[in-house]
Structure 1
Amino acid sequence: MDHDTYSPVPELNQLHEFSASLADYFSQGFELEKFGEASGIDTWSSDPEFLDRFRSFAMANGSGSLYAIWRMDDREDLADLPIVAFGDEGGVHLVATDLRQLLRLLACDRYVYVFPDGISLSDEEEDAEGGRGSGEVREVYVAWLKRQFGLDPAEDPDGVLLDAEEAYGKRFAEWMDRYVEGFAEGYAELTGE
């Protein structure tokens, strides 16, 4: 990888270049950070095998939660792997089935809350009433997303979270349980599985 390149993920490199051209956030709480940092992830486990399976790349909200790619297998294209959010209040949860789904979720401009017992998005109507949101900068992002990748904002932002959970939730919980004692049990309690 070229030392001037943000990451080994072409889509993230394009997003990095785009966001560097903006004077403000294009999605509430989202901010690209140094690619691949373990800070925040290492509070769950310091096992090198555990840390090697995550590639952080952005803040998920303004309070310290972060997004990371979960390298659930050794495929080359990291953009095809699930995205998780590590919460600043605790909790780690699946967010999107892959990077493109996260990009679509970001276009909805909803604040992400990551708690030990789940992940949720801010209410769109309450955001509008409270004057929260990224406004015109979000519209620039939506246009860029369509032009760059042919993608539109997610029609159902909560559905993006649910799709990730349905696709990978049980597998993720079982994998995490190898490094975080009781993780699978806690997952089963939350989901009723």
Structure 2
Amino acid sequence: MSDAYSPIPELNLLKAFDDTCTDFYSPGFELRAYNHGVGWTEPDNPDFEDRVIPFAQATSSGSLYALWRCDDRADLATLPVLFLGDEGDLYITAHDLRELFWDLLDEDSGEPAPPREEYRATRQAYHTWLERNFGPTPPAYDRSPMEEHGWRFVDWLLSVGERDTADIVIESLELLEIPRP
């Protein structure tokens, strides 16, 4: 049995970096036990839980990041990343883990930032780590994650009996004016 944090090399690299940090490198972000229950649907829906892989806290109030296992691809790092909000928000926030890692540098997360001086060094170390492991620039995509995967996600939610959850995503798609293909 492996002592690795997860079966995903990119997440294992982040975990190794995270273990060296004493401060946050992104406000509200914190790795949690890999694939340790979502607990987001009421009552827990095993069909939902089987395809949603939580790996990090997204906000200090309890929102989560999770991978959506939209298919059976071998490279889990290329799966879409979900934001499961503690207040009921649900959307696809990144095309894959690499995009999420770059997005963690976004200063406008809505989270209160740690004290500036302490935070700056850890944030710079994260930026250096990111460039060293994934290149000097974020990945580029032609469409947003919601444009790319949103309606397919809705269809999957409906197929596993998550009508109320699908309605949350549909509302976001409509607000973003993303038409159904």
TM tier relative to shorter chain: 0.7 to 0.9
- 1:143 aligned partner: 128
Question: Which residue type is aligned with residue 46 of structure 2?
Answer: P
* Residue segments in structure 2 that go unaligned for 5+ positions in a row: none
- 1:52 aligned partner: 50
Taking structure 1 as reference, are residues 86 and 45 closer, same or farther at Cα in structure 2, changes over 3 Å only?
Answer: farther
Question: Which residue type is aligned with residue 85 of structure 1?
Answer: F
Q: For 1:59 and 1:147, locate their aligned partners in 2 and report how far apart those are by CA, in whole Å.
A: 24
Q: Secondary structure at the match of 2:93?
A: strand
Q: Secondary structure at the match of 1:143?
A: helix
Match of 2:90 among 87, 92, 96: 92
The aligned runs of 1:132-171 (5 Å cut-off) are 134-152=119-137, 163-171=144-152
Cα offset for 1:27? 0.5
Cα offset for 1:186? 4.6
Identity of aligned residues (%): 39
Q: For 2:73 and 2:61, locate their aligned partners in 1 and report how far apart those are by CA, in whole Å.
A: 32
Cα offset for 1:65? 0.2
Cα offset for 1:183? 4.0
Report the TM-score when normalising by structure 2: 0.83
Q: Considering only aligned residues, what root-mean-square deviation do their CA atoms show, in Å?
A: 3.0
* Residue segments in structure 1 that go unaligned for 5+ positions in a row: 112-121
- 2:63 aligned partner: 65
Cα offset for 1:172? 0.7
- 1:173 aligned partner: 154
Report the TM-score when normalising by structure 1: 0.78
